[in-house]
Amino acid sequence: MQLEKIHYDNKIVKAFIIATVIFGIVGMTVGLLAAIQLFYPIFNFSDSSLGQFVSFGRIRPLHTNAVIFAFVGNAMFAGVYYSMQRLLKTRLFSDALSWTHFWGWQLIILAAAITLPLGMTSAKEYAELEWPIDIAIALIWVVFGINMIGTIIKRREQHMYVAIWFYIATFVTVAVLHIVNSFEMPVTLFKSYSWYAGVQDALVQWWYGHNAVAFFLTTPFLGIMYYFLPKAANRPVYSYRLSIIHFWSLIFIYIWAGPHHLLYTALPDWAQSLGVVFSVMLIAPSWGGMLNGLFTLRGAWDRVREDAVLKFMVVAVTAYGMATLEGPLLSLKNVNAIAHYTDWIVAHVHVGGLGWNGFLIFGMLYWLVPRMWNTKLYSSKLANLHFWIGTLGIVFYALPMYVSGVVQSLMWKEFAADGFLRYQNFLETTTQILPMHMLRATGGALYLAGVFIMAYNLIKTAYAGSFIANEEAEVSPLVKIKHAPGGYWHHILEAKPVIFTVLALVAILIGGIIELVPTFLVKSNVPTIASVKPYTPLELHGRDIYIREGCVNCHSQMIRPFRSEVQRYDPKGGEYSKAGEYVYDHPFLWGSKRTGPDLHRLGGKYADSWHFRHMLTPAEVSTGSIMPAYPWLYEQQIDKGLTAGKISALRTIGVPYAEGYEKTANNDLDAQANRIVTGLELEGYETAPDAEIVALIAYLQRLGTDIKLDEVATRNE
Amino acid sequence: MKRIVLFLFMCLGLVPAFAQSAESIPAASSAWDDPLLPFYIVIGFTFVVVILVLLVALYLLQVLNYMVRQATRERAERLGIPYKEEPSFWARLWKESNDFVPLEKEADILMDHSYDGIRELDNHLPPWWKWLFYATIVFSGVYMIFYHLTDTLPLPLKEYETELVIAEEQAKKLEASSPVAAIDETTVQLVTDATALADGKTTFLNNCASCHRKDGGGDIGPNLTDEYWKHGGSLRDIFRIIRHGVQGTNMISWEGFISPEKMQNVTSYVLTLQGSNPENAKKPEGELYKPDTHAPADSTKVQASL
């Protein structure tokens, strides 16, 4: 047979590797800053002119977006592009597409790094970027997809290896998730409202959020594991049939599990329960990946002791196994009742992020760079040091957060003998766990130090070698073999990429459709409350400030039906949060973490002047508070020119503002603002009616109050 | 690692303990006076003994195992047969539960394809893994049936209703057994003992200080250390203001947040601040109030029941 000479494109892989290392350092540094802000609020720099761009509410989304999409994303593309060429024995489909993909992705990251600190956000976790960037992401993702499918089509290997299956699933699912979750109604170039409201928005968001973990952080990295781990260990993969079973069961089941982020919320019970059981059924499929990784090392364990690459991979796969067992356990509703809204969840995601993604990426880089630069690793001692310092970092990160999560949750729930909450003041539970947050930051700093060591080591390695931009390989042309009868049916499927892709798409659509469609169409899933009305124009502006400042990062707006929560947040009204209260919330702002108290029943709890003082100097009003100050809200004005656009946009997506109301809305706005300003003046506080703080106060005072009007109405009937 | 895991489990173990403290109303203030103390001690003792017995048993088993192996080896040497050590129980369990094909026989299950040099074996699915998968599927079916078809187990709202019923029963019992649970502005009395005032101070710092300042000098709320009051300065007035709040002002109603007893303590504590003259206090607001000209009942001193 005539051998063909081809060249694998290493240059694109190199570009993605460099981006990985740079954004790893940037993203983790930002994370460390966020961690420090949580015990030294001074690091919010509230009083400096920079303050509003670096306060926690804006830094936290910057951190999550940077580590997920910039660090892990670039590493994914590096790993996929390197392995795919070799597994399919062909150069990538198109160099032009490869580079469009690379530069497009980096521009998106740049856009994120600019817009997030500016407060341009959709408020939906891990999907914060505004609509023009969403469109760019969709386009670049399609470029990546065409490049991938094109490469698969022109392959010289008849069958697709398991890594490729995972890459295909990644491409189709992320595309579906991103597009569906990003439906939004633009108001201006960088402001939009989610198409969905309240419960429906929450369900779509967590269907997306959970599966972003599944199909951005998990499936591509399982593929990467399936390539790099057997390569580094020089051992055959443990079990082909395990690969098949765990691949299909994983992608089919994962998509259903989203609602476990919304247990005990206003989401319909049937959806919550589906989230629980599908999470439990996910244990075995996830562990299938771990077992296939670890058992592949059978007979090579002696090498794990010496080889830093294998060490990183072993810890990565183990962390994957731990996180995927913990996830289903956290989805049990009695465990979730303790863990939700606490640091436990933060610990959980970081075991996955630092352990699984981080360590697998480090292992991959230590393996790749010497090969691509045709040399040996500069220092295996430093690589080992990185391994130990990184592992220590994970331990120091995770353990304190587990402790602080459980401690805080128990404090929230504890009743004293007199039937009242023992820690009625939320702040007591915050200050209690600050030492744990300091330890966590130490863990994060250790981990980051390891990344710096790696960067040095890799740069030194690259300088010592010479880069092979186009790696030459001799490959045989594609020979199609007829499948002998009686073989694996799946083996035949592996030779049919289009059918394979369609089947993967069907597998991931089923769960999503069954959960989403009834929640949208069946009315009984969101019982309406007559007294719940749309926000006033001023409140709308206030809500947009709430979104811009990222308040949702620390404050939930979802009181679960627990006696301890109703007692804490609405002791007199006795109302937990109901689905019908959120029907005009575009987007929903339930939040996922309570660094501060829940705010859903905040309306009317304090007077306007309290909020006025509190937002200016939180630590003075509540001694020991770690909330940043927001002095700029007192200097900046709301843009009343946007009122009409906001009203019209919301009406288009179903909020019942009267036709033509946008023309008179500003009159109502002025009247409400003047009432607040007059009230504040009586208490001795002066402010302009169009100051942002006035709008924010209007919104905060509205929160959760509509349902009380309903009671009054019913009583009067 | 083990210790850490143990610690986390202990943390989890605390959950029911905390829940219990909410449910039972201890008659005694100290754990030592708990009537169930002997019971706890016996349980604890039994637990320790069981652990010790298990440890000793395990150790003995090890010794026995060692002696048996020793004897087998000696006999083998005596008979001149090469001694081959039996694989341990754990090694066998590991091998069997995973159903590994031995490394030597790997060639038999090596698939005939190779991807960039990566070969694949075709080992069995680990039996325990398979059974785990089946078990989770069965669990899921049972879960849905119990929660959604037969209503055997309570969904969140049902759980909440049950919680409220229990709380109401407790509240009734508490009211019957302890008069402090029913204090209101007509029965409130000045407390003077140190424990009660210390409790009042804690409540003040946690809840009131954010508006009235830590020293009561006033900030968002009025100065509480002077003799001027906006809504009345008697013990009963202050209690009423704390309990119901003042409409249209920053003073919220604390009913439901703080127990009546704590309200009595904090009211008494606030009165101790009279005349303390903190620095930079807020200027007087409201009307002058002289305590001696008002109801004598206010000055009755009672033992705090804390």
Q: How confident is the model at residue A290 (pLDDT cuts 50, 70, 90)?
A: very high
Which helix or strand (DSSP H or E) is residue A635 part of?
Answer: none
**pLDDT tens-digit profile of B153-178?**
899 999 999 999 999 998 888 888 87
What phi and psi values does residue A119 have, to the nearest 5 degrees? 85, 15
* pLDDT (0 to 100) of residue A440: 96
CA B110, distance to chain mean position in Å, is: 54
Task: Return the ∠ at Cα A565 (arms to A560 and A567), rounded to 5°.
Answer: 135
Residue in chain B closest to A415 (alpha carbons) equals B22
Per CB-CB distance under 8 Å, the chain B contacts of A8 are: none
Residue in chain A closest to B155 (alpha carbons) equals A269
Judged by CB atoms closer than 8 Å, whether chains meet at A295 and B98 is answered as yes
Mean pLDDT of A675-682: 92
Mutate to test the interface with A, among B220, B251, B265 (most CBs of A within 10 A): B220
What lies within 8 Å, CB to CB, of B300 at 6+ separation is B189, B190
Q: What is the CATH number of domain A537-716?
A: 1.10.760.10
What lies within 8 Å, CB to CB, of B41 at 6+ separation is none
Per CB-CB distance under 8 Å, the chain A contacts of B113 are: 159
- A541 vs B152 pLDDT, higher one: A541
* pLDDT (0 to 100) of residue A458: 97
* pLDDT (0 to 100) of residue A712: 54
**pLDDT tens-digit profile of A385-399?**
999 999 999 999 999
Secondary structure (3-state) at A188: strand
Per CB-CB distance under 8 Å, the chain A contacts of B258 are: 420, 424
Mean pLDDT of A617-639: 92
ipTM over 0.90: yes
Size of interface A-B (CB pairs under 8 A): 195
Mean pLDDT of chain B: 81
Among the partner-chain residues A87, A263, A420, the one whose CB lies closest to the CB of B115 is A87
Residue in chain A closest to B258 (alpha carbons) equals A420
With a pLDDT cut of 70, the percent of chain A lying above it is 99
Among the partner-chain residues A284, A406, A419, the one whose CB lies closest to the CB of B170 is A419
- From-to residues of CATH 1.10.760.10 in chain A: 537-716
Judged by CB atoms closer than 8 Å, whether chains meet at A623 and B214 is answered as yes
- From-to residues of CATH 1.20.210.10 in chain A: 159-517
**How far off is chain A from B141, nearest CA to CA, in Å?**
8
Residue in chain B closest to A620 (alpha carbons) equals B210
Residue B119: strand pairing partners: B114
Judged by CB atoms closer than 8 Å, whether chains meet at A280 and B11 is answered as no
pLDDT surpassing 50 at residue A272: yes
How many residues are listed for chain B in this entry? Answer: 306
Judged by CB atoms closer than 8 Å, whether chains meet at A415 and B14 is answered as no
**pLDDT tens-digit profile of A591-616?**
999 999 999 999 988 889 889 999 99
**pLDDT tens-digit profile of A67-93?**
999 999 999 999 999 999 999 999 999
Cβ-contact A283, B136 below 8 angstroms: yes
Q: How confident is the model at residue B23 (pLDDT cuts 50, 70, 90)?
A: very low
Per CB-CB distance under 8 Å, the chain A contacts of B26 are: 417
Mutate to test the interface with B, among A235, A239, A402 (most CBs of B within 10 A): A239
pLDDT surpassing 80 at residue A132: yes
Judged by CB atoms closer than 8 Å, whether chains meet at A403 and B11 is answered as yes
Q: How many angstroms separate the CA atoms of A55 and A712, rounded? A: 40
Per CB-CB distance under 8 Å, the chain A contacts of B157 are: 269, 561
**How far off is chain B from A284, nearest CA to CA, in Å?**
5
On whether any CB of chain A is under 8 Å from the CB of B169, the answer is: no
Q: How many angstroms separate the CA atoms of B58 and B64, rounded? A: 10
Judged by CB atoms closer than 8 Å, whether chains meet at B140 and A280 is answered as yes
Residue A421: strand pairing partners: A415
Among the partner-chain residues B22, B103, B249, the one whose CB lies closest to the CB of A415 is B22
With a pLDDT cut of 90, the percent of chain A lying above it is 86
Residue A415: strand pairing partners: A421
Cβ-contact A412, A569 below 8 angstroms: no
Among the partner-chain residues A403, A419, A610, the one whose CB lies closest to the CB of B171 is A419
pLDDT surpassing 70 at residue A480: yes
Among the partner-chain residues A87, A420, A606, the one whose CB lies closest to the CB of B116 is A87
Judged by CB atoms closer than 8 Å, whether chains meet at A240 and B132 is answered as no
Task: Return the ∠ at Cα A428 (arms to B15 and A46), rounded to 5°.
Answer: 130
**pLDDT tens-digit profile of B273-293?**
888 888 888 888 888 887 765
On whether any CB of chain A is under 8 Å from the CB of B95, the answer is: no
Judged by CB atoms closer than 8 Å, whether chains meet at A610 and B121 is answered as no
pLDDT surpassing 80 at residue B4: no
pTM for this prediction = 0.88
Judged by CB atoms closer than 8 Å, whether chains meet at B123 and A295 is answered as yes
Secondary structure (3-state) at B185: coil
Judged by CB atoms closer than 8 Å, whether chains meet at B120 and A264 is answered as no
With a pLDDT cut of 90, the percent of chain B lying above it is 27
Judged by CB atoms closer than 8 Å, whether chains meet at A406 and B164 is answered as no
Among the partner-chain residues B103, B118, B219, the one whose CB lies closest to the CB of A298 is B103
In chain A, how many H helices and how many E strands? 30, 4
Q: Say whether domain A159-517 belongs to CATH 1.20.210.10.
A: yes
DSSP-derived pairing of the beta strands B190-191 and B301-302: parallel
DSSP-derived pairing of the beta strands B190-191 and B228-229: unpaired
**pLDDT tens-digit profile of A201-226?**
999 999 999 999 899 999 999 999 99
Judged by CB atoms closer than 8 Å, whether chains meet at A281 and B124 is answered as no
**DSSP string for residues in B267-283:** HHHHHHTTT---TTPPP
* pLDDT (0 to 100) of residue B1: 47
Judged by CB atoms closer than 8 Å, whether chains meet at A277 and B144 is answered as yes
Q: Which amino acid is at A469?
A: A
Residue in chain B closest to A481 (alpha carbons) equals B113
- B74: burial class by Cβ within 10 Å (0-12, 13-18, 19+)? exposed
Which has the closest alpha carbon to B128: A242, A324, A293?
Answer: A242
* pLDDT (0 to 100) of residue B297: 46
Judged by CB atoms closer than 8 Å, whether chains meet at A418 and B174 is answered as yes
* pLDDT (0 to 100) of residue B305: 39
Among the partner-chain residues A159, A287, A609, the one whose CB lies closest to the CB of B250 is A609
* pLDDT (0 to 100) of residue A715: 45
**How far off is chain B from A302, nearest CA to CA, in Å?**
15
Among the partner-chain residues A162, A241, A609, the one whose CB lies closest to the CB of B220 is A609
Q: How confident is the model at residue A23 (pLDDT cuts 50, 70, 90)?
A: very high
**How far off is chain A from B150, nearest CA to CA, in Å?**
14
pLDDT surpassing 70 at residue B29: no
Mean pLDDT of chain A: 93
Judged by CB atoms closer than 8 Å, whether chains meet at B122 and A241 is answered as yes
**How far off is chain A from B178, nearest CA to CA, in Å?**
9
**pLDDT tens-digit profile of B68-126?**
888 888 888 888 888 777 778 888 888 888 888 888 888 888 888 889 999 999 999 99
Residue in chain B closest to A339 (alpha carbons) equals B12
Secondary structure (3-state) at B218: coil
Cβ-contact A702, A535 below 8 angstroms: yes
* pLDDT (0 to 100) of residue B259: 86
Most confident of A477-486, B27-36, B189-198: B189-198
**pLDDT tens-digit profile of B238-280?**
999 998 888 777 788 888 888 888 899 999 999 898 888 888 8
Q: How many angstroms separate the CA atoms of A86 and A81, rounded? A: 9
Among the partner-chain residues B125, B133, B253, the one whose CB lies closest to the CB of A241 is B125
Domains and CATH numbers, chain B: 181-302 (1.10.760.10)
* pLDDT (0 to 100) of residue B7: 53
**Which segment of A150-164, A426-440, B82-96, B198-212 scores lowest on mean pLDDT?**
B82-96
Judged by CB atoms closer than 8 Å, whether chains meet at B163 and A563 is answered as yes
On whether any CB of chain A is under 8 Å from the CB of B255, the answer is: yes
- B246: burial class by Cβ within 10 Å (0-12, 13-18, 19+)? middle
Among the partner-chain residues B119, B137, B209, the one whose CB lies closest to the CB of A236 is B119
Mutate to test the interface with B, among A81, A86, A156, A238 (most CBs of B within 10 A): A238
Which helix or strand (DSSP H or E) is residue A26 part of?
Answer: helix A11-37
Among the partner-chain residues B103, B148, B220, the one whose CB lies closest to the CB of A610 is B220
